[in-house]
Amino acid sequence: MSFKKISIVTFGCKMNQAESQAIGEKFLELGFDVSYDKDLVELVEGTVIINSCTVTSEAERKIRQYIRKVKRNHPNIKVIVAGCGAYTMPQAFTEAGADLILGNHEKKHIQDYINEYGIKTDIDYWKKEDDPILVPKESYEGRTRVFFPVQEGCLNSCTYCRIVFARGRKINSIKKNEVIKIISGYIEKGFKEIVLTGINLSYYGFDNDENLEELIFLIEKEFCSSRVRIRLTSLYPDSVTNGIIDVLTTSSIFEHHIHYSLQHISDDVLKKMGRRYSASEFFRQAELLRSRDSHFSLTSDIIVGFPGETETDIYKLSEGIKSLDMLKVHVFRFSPRPQTLAASFSAQVLGEDKAERMRFIEKAAFQSREKYLQKLMGELSDVLVEKDAFSGTTGFGYDQYYVPHYISVSGKHENDFLKVRSISFDDKGVKSIVL
């Protein structure tokens, strides 16, 4: 291998971030100089590995733009594009200047391809049995939290989604006893926040007769006396059982928070999206969660401008978000993706209408967030500090509800739990004082 300097650049989800860290660790063991510097400040020659995303056309546009920028400013650097975007549109990245294209199977064995060129993507990779999940030993980019992928694959047929083409329908899960061992290892290394992630965490254990509820119960049992925080990434409403709700609303280690992969609140739109739950199912869960813990936080992804979405649908979405007092709503404009059913649907929403609807829903999301944060004023929280004071005496961290806190504190507290009282808030988060 001749390219001994490598910079790994990540686009997309927490799964990608975890995999990027694991890839970096592979190369470190092989004697490479590894960084995660997107600006390539110290990389004059060597290799850039781009871990790509295919969720939106905007993500793919940014990747192409980045490739061209690297080739223009650093002609001696080799560009490797790997992952989801590389699998679904390899030719576009090659035309942008990439030297090597690797799919999701090849990404897991990237050290074997480092000196090659061209397009290497196995279209049937999910049929392979020897395709282990890339699990990092350390945190991504030196963060205080570590992303732990416990599952791969998705069995859904959402009409707008391209991930099933990139990641496959085969479910691959780490057995729950092995999950416990890995979490124990993270805790021994000093990590106090562990984020369980996957392509679709709701399908954890479908390949080995286990399930997410069993895993959560076991984690709670094994680590309930530990000073650690466990966070779950996106869940579908139809996968959140009463047992999961019981643990998440009472646990001292699991965050009292769910990020819902919701997408909409109109049943008509949900049906067109191919989602397998109703708005009433989600609202029932939200009511139950809040009855157990009035501050239990809800965040969600929402798509606006889906084909056939009406003004009634968008109004229903706005009112629903405002009624839920949600901590955060990530709003995305519908992006018609190649190979998906939704791209061929009639009644496509015009671009300017999508932008207007996005502003409308973002306003509702802001109002919802304000209502939620207002309820926290004067309340006590346990904040896990991520950053020591970086501006005067202000540190930063998240509490047990995944609320961001800017803390008036002095001294070194990174990776410590602090008891704080919320005193005010703005669009960035809550301002707190240490008790």
| Crossing angle for the helix pair 212-223 and 242-250, to the nearest 10 degrees | 30
Q: Which amino acid is at 104?
A: N
What domains can you pick out in the chain, each with its CATH number?
Answer: 5-126 (3.40.50.2300), 144-255 (3.30.750.210), 266-376 (3.30.750.200), 380-434 (2.40.50.140)
Helices (H), 9-116: 14-29, 57-73, 84-88, 90-96, 104-107
Coil/strand/helix, residue 386: strand
Q: What was the pLDDT predicted at 387?
A: 83
**Distance in angstroms between the alpha carbons of the first and the last residue of the chain:** 55
Q: Which tokens belong to 378?
A: 């004067």
Q: What was the pLDDT predicted at 37?
A: 85
Q: What was the pLDDT predicted at 1?
A: 41
Yes or no: say if 96 and 12 are a contact pair by the CB < 8 Å rule: no
Yes or no: say if 165 and 181 are a contact pair by the CB < 8 Å rule: no
Q: What is the DSSP pairing of strand 394-398 with strand 380-391?
A: antiparallel
Q: What was the pLDDT predicted at 122?
A: 74
Phi, psi of 406 (to 5 degrees): -105, 115
Yes or no: say if 383 and 407 are a contact pair by the CB < 8 Å rule: yes
Q: What was the pLDDT predicted at 128?
A: 62
Measured between alpha carbons, how far is 374 from 196 in angstroms, rounded to an integer?
A: 29
pLDDT, tens digit, 9 for 90 and up, residues 340-387: 999 999 999 999 999 999 999 999 999 999 999 999 999 999 999 988
Measured between alpha carbons, how far is 215 from 220 in angstroms, rounded to an integer?
A: 9
Stretches where the chain sits below pLDDT 70 are 1-3, 123-130, 389-393
- From the list 266, 241, 355, the residue with the least C-alpha distance to 316 is 266
Q: Which residue has the tokens 């049906």?
A: 271
Q: Which tokens belong to 225?
A: 């006396």
Q: What was the pLDDT predicted at 230?
A: 97
Q: Which residue has the tokens 């030719």?
A: 91
- From the list 174, 49, 46, the residue with the least C-alpha distance to 106 is 49
pLDDT, tens digit, 9 for 90 and up, residues 62-121: 999 999 999 999 999 999 999 999 988 899 999 999 999 998 889 999 999 999 999 988
Helices (H), 142-296: 163-167, 176-188, 212-223, 242-250, 267-273, 279-292
Q: What was the pLDDT predicted at 3?
A: 57
Q: Which tokens belong to 199?
A: 């392509």
Yes or no: say if 265 and 317 are a contact pair by the CB < 8 Å rule: yes
